[in-house]
Structure 1
Amino acid sequence: MTAKVQPSSPDPFHAPAGLRERKKLKTRLAIRREAYRLFREQGYDATTVDQIAEAADVSPSTFFRYFPSKEDVVLNDEYDPLLARALVDAPEDASLVSVVRTGIMGVLREVLRHDRAELETRLTLIRTVPALRRRTYDQQMESWQVFAAAFAERTGRPANDFELRVASASINAALSEAMTMWAEGGFLADPLDQLDRALGYLQAGLRTEQ
């Protein structure tokens, strides 16, 4: 049996149809927006959940219904399900890397158009806050599982298939390294170009020019 991709949160770029889901999305994004503002203004460690909740005009208990901890405001996002859907819906005759290359580029393009400042804040926090760095591996494993589930649905193989796991881990590592290098360079380079180069390197079979 192949794994099914189940988005865990609403599409952040297109409002959900139901009123309840629209309200939930609005609240979730408001909490994250205010949290990032406070992190930029006073630092991650100095910002409390109570301060974030007050700034977002919600109670602390409401905060914890959306995010299990302050760390999860930074580490959790809505983008993996979008990418997974793009991978599943791509043409059947396309290779996995080419499908990912097109899908990731499309999602990143939307993220940059809608949430570039928040993405830069997120990457900066992950690089500079030890508590977030320690949890990055877990977050990357979750992304890897999303890739594996999407590939499994696409190919009909089980999600724990050896080749699918290697492909998922390799693609996730390329994505992570491209974003890390973008952040290390002060966000001056074109992130789409860096990501395209990283995935192109994988697609070319990891060949280097002499």
Structure 2
Amino acid sequence: MSSRERRRAETRHTIQRHAIRLFVDRGYDATTVNDVATAAGVSAMTVYRHFATKEDLVLYDEFDQQAAATITEQPADEPLVVRIARTLAATYDQAIADREFHLARLRLMISTPALQARHLDSQYATQEALVGAICAGSQDPALEFQARAAVSACLGVVHVALLRWAAEDGEPELRELFGEAFTATFGHGF
């Protein structure tokens, strides 16, 4: 990553952290983009340069790219659902390194009507990224169908685990909840 890209990522991270804090403290609807800009020490134009919409201040992450890269590292001889489950668990392990920040983001996504539909759009984008990575270089419609079904099922399982994780204030560990949810759904963990 170049120094310019690094500064851009740091600015985006700073803006998003201030946005999440303000949304939690004041409420999503009561907080304006100008409030976020002031808290982050940047202009509103800078906020919009990094986040096209107010919703993106909560929803933005690099999960899709990380998941797509991680699935290609999984052993191809393992069942597809196991590869997807391991990918999602590994990607979430990286994504939730800052537990409190990600719990706050998740709670906002769950509880804020303006974010709920966009959160589903985000899940669809994750599905497309994973299906694309699984099917890269293939024109096999059967593989695409299998990948789409498996990814959709796994994302549903992960969503249920995330809801419980948020409801229980980040306890137990998210990976443990993933294991329980995958075992309940598929009869085995990952």
TM-score by length of 1: 0.81
What's the counterpart of residue 38 of structure 1?
Answer: 22
Change (3 A) 1:157 1:196: farther
Task: Report what 1:8 is aligned to.
Answer: none
Distance 1:62 1:21 in 2: 15
**Structure 1 residues 155-192: Cα deviation after superposition (integer angstroms, max 9, x where no partner):** 66469822221112111111111101211233332211
Instruction: Describe how 1:51-66 pairs up with structure 2 within 5 A.
Output: 51-66=35-50
The answer to whether structure 1 residue 100 and structure 2 residue 100 are counterparts is no
RMSD: 2.3
Gaps of 5+ in 1: 1-16, 206-210
Which of 86, 94, 102 aligns to 2:70? It is: 86
- Listed one character per residue, the Cα deviations across residues 39-71 of structure 1 (whole Å, up to 9, x for unaligned) are 122121111101111211221111111111111
Q: Which shifted more, 35-44 or 156-165? A: 156-165
User: Following superposition of structure 1 onto structure 2, how do residues 16-165 of structure 1 map, counting pairs within 5 Å?
Assistant: 17-112=1-96, 114-153=97-136, 157=140, 161-165=144-148
Structure 1 segments of 4 or more deviating over 6 A? none
Distance in 1, Cα, partners of 2:142 & 2:63: 20
* Identity between Structure 1 and Structure 2 (%): 32
- Unaligned runs of at least 5 residues, structure 2: none
Secondary structure of 1:146 counterpart: helix
Number of aligned residue pairs: 189
Q: Is 1:196 aligned to residue 183 of structure 2? A: no
Aligned residue identity for 2:118: R
Deviations 1:109-158 (A, max 9, x none): 2233x321111001111121111113222121111111211211286646
Q: Is the 8 A contact 1:88 1:153 kept in 2?
A: no
Contact residue 84 and residue 151 of structure 2 kept, 8 A: no
Deviates more, 1:132-141 or 1:119-128: 132-141
Alignment equivalent of 1:171, drawn from 145, 151, 154: 154
Higher relative contact order (CA 8 A, sep 6+): 1
